[in-house]
Amino acid sequence: MTSLVFMGTPEFSVPILTMLHEEGYDILAVVTQPDRPVGRKKVLTPTPVKKEALRLGYPVLQPEKLRGSQQLDEILSFNPDIVITAAFGQILPKVILDAPKFGCLNVHASLLPAYRGGAPIHQAVIDGQDETGVSIMYMAEKLDAGDIISQKSIPIEANDTTGKLFESLSIVGRDLLKETLPSILNETNARIVQDEKLVTFARNISREQERINWNQSAQDIFNLVRGLNPWPVAYTTLQEQPVKVWWGQPSQQQTNQPIGTVVELKSDRIIVQTGNEQAFEITELQPSGKKKMSAEEFLRGTGSKLQIGDQFQ
């Protein structure tokens, strides 16, 4: 029986761990990120992968950093045949990469060499791509630069969000790994070197990237809103207070007002000037310190003070 150590953290990784369990692989341990404070009350919360690992009865390791940790020595002492990672959130030290007989694999949510890095799904949506996918790859010391073993693509639909694609790609990754693993263990798999000329990056989303730039086109703003939904959520400012924009859409009407200006208020939407003589219609938002609400709720309540000519920054 093939023995392995699995490393993963978010919901994306859970179906992959479950599949490995159901397929009967000998899972020696599960490695995930430490419990983190969540929500306004900062409740210490285990990762989704930890919850699933404990449900399945596997030992869990949670190093803050693998390199130089006691957990690193423990992982090596298991002497697994293979290490499989999926959105783990840490770079593996060379000593782990070199140890397993069949190497270290990663289930990466992009069509490599496009979108190496920690936010490939977010970035694909923000960039307005019409497809994405999953790559099963060998891990290397350089970020997401290892040889590709298999890939599967799926379309990005016009209203897809990052959240929806996370769910879809998690299942694609699960099924692709299930299909690919036997060839890896039989050493009959493909091994495709990535073309460095085609490499693009998807770094973790920064606070600066979350802010809407009203100078952009309405479509670019829509892509940002989709790409940051449901986390970390795009935002703008109104009267120097942050406002999260959960949803909206490009307007059909042509407008020519100063950038960021509220050009029209309808019962269920706030229409804002963008940078391409078109407007963006905000339909769901979250004022600072309040819950997410529809634009209709906002305009009926405290938002009733909003007027045509006010400006988002």
Contact (Cβ atoms closer than 8 angstroms) between residue 236 and residue 248 = no
| Helices within 186-237 (DSSP H only) | 207-210, 218-227
Distance CA 229, CA 225 (A): 6
Q: Give pLDDT tens digits for 274-300.
A: 998 899 999 999 999 899 999 999 998
User: Taking the C-alpha atoms of 120, 122, 125 and 126 in order, what is their torsion angle to the nearest 10 degrees?
Assistant: -110
> What pLDDT score does 277 carry?
86
224 and 235 in contact (C-beta within 8 Å)? no
DSSP state, residue 35: P
Kindly report, residue by residue over 130-165, the tens digit of the pLDDT.
999 999 999 999 999 999 999 999 999 999 999 999
Give percent of the chain above pLDDT 90: 90
Q: How many other C-beta atoms are found inside a 10 Å radius of the C-beta of residue 289?
A: 7
Summarised one tens digit per residue, pLDDT across range 24-57 is 999 999 999 999 998 878 899 999 999 999 999 9
Interacting residues of 213 by C-beta distance below 8 A, sequence separation 6+: 221, 275
pTM reported for the whole predicted model: 0.95
Q: Does residue 304 carry a pLDDT above 80?
A: no
Work out the mean pLDDT of the chain and round it to a whole number: 95
Alpha-carbon distances of 76 from 79, 219, 260, rounded to whole Å? 5, 49, 55
Name all domains of the chain by residue range, CATH numbers in brackets.
3-198 (3.40.50.170), 207-305 (3.10.25.10)
